[in-house]
Amino acid sequence: MKTYELVTEIFNKCSGNQMRDVAITEVETDDPRAYVEQLLKSHKNVEIEEDTLKDGARIFNVTADGLPERYSFTEI
């Protein structure tokens, strides 16, 4: 399995609070997309857009039940 640094960002929808929740963890997985899908399995409406950056980082921009989130995987 590959080891990744995972940066999770959950964006706040409140107009008076522009901050976001950020967590940085180390995860082992062979399939980052499946990992994200597993994290979101309790949500009813999920949209996932995936981008791969030039440095190989994989970014998943997600809308889960109307809340925007981002999952960034960088191999370490």
- Whole-model pTM? 0.91
Domain count within the chain:
1
| Cβ count within 10 A of residue 62 | 22
Residue 50 is part of which domain span?
A: 2-75
> What is the structure's pLDDT at 44?
95
Residue 48: pLDDT band (50, 70, 90) is very high
Residue 36 three-state SS: helix
> What is the structure's pLDDT at 21?
87
Whether the Cβ atoms of residue 71 and residue 62 lie closer than 8 Å to each other: yes
Backbone angles phi, psi at 17, to 5 degrees: -130, 105
- Cβ neighbors of 3 (< 8 A, separation 6 or more) are 26, 27, 28, 75, 76
Q: Is the pLDDT of residue 58 over 70?
A: yes
> What is the structure's pLDDT at 15?
67
> What is the structure's pLDDT at 16?
67
> What is the structure's pLDDT at 18?
65
